[in-house]
Structure 1
Amino acid sequence: MIGRKNWLFANTPRGPKASATIYSVIETAKENGLNPFQYLKYLFEQLPQRDDP
């Protein structure tokens, strides 16, 4: 669980939302038995190549 004090280090108004998003992705990967680093690597490699409308 991420503590409330971690939000003190968000330098911009959009910082907490960005942090919450990445924490959510990491925790979801862990809950599904995936290696968070490998999952993020996969996402960062594959998402830019998608051709979604």
Structure 2
Amino acid sequence: MKATARRAWLFADTPKGATANAVLYTLVESAKANDLHIYEYLKYILRAMPDTDFNNHPELLDKYLPWSKELPEECRMNHKHKKCFRK
């Protein structure tokens, strides 16, 4: 983790703010560990998940996890690299 990200924890002045930071950093680091394009992955889950009834059906969250095979191709890092080399 970069030094600036580590310092961001200093500004979580409420328990809810600290929890929000922890969730965000966990998502980002999990996306990195699973070779996902972080921006595309966050964009996807923030757009798709509000329409999901995961409070009543928590098993629906499985398809949004960073290691899910159901993630769209644009979330995968190898997809982005191939696009960079197109002429």
Question: TM-score, normalized by length of structure 1?
Answer: 0.79
Alignment gaps of 5+ in structure 1: none
CA distance in 2 between counterparts of 1:50 and 1:14 reads: 23
State the 4+ residue runs in structure 1 displaced beyond 6 angstroms: none
Q: Which has more radius of gyration?
A: 2
Aligned-pair CA distance for 1:9: 0.7
Count of aligned residue pairs for this structure pair: 52
Aligned-pair CA distance for 1:16: 1.1
Q: Percent identity?
A: 42
Question: TM-score, normalized by length of structure 2?
Answer: 0.52
Aligned-pair CA distance for 1:49: 1.2
1:24 aligns to what? 26
- What is the RMSD computed on CA atoms of the aligned residues? 1.5
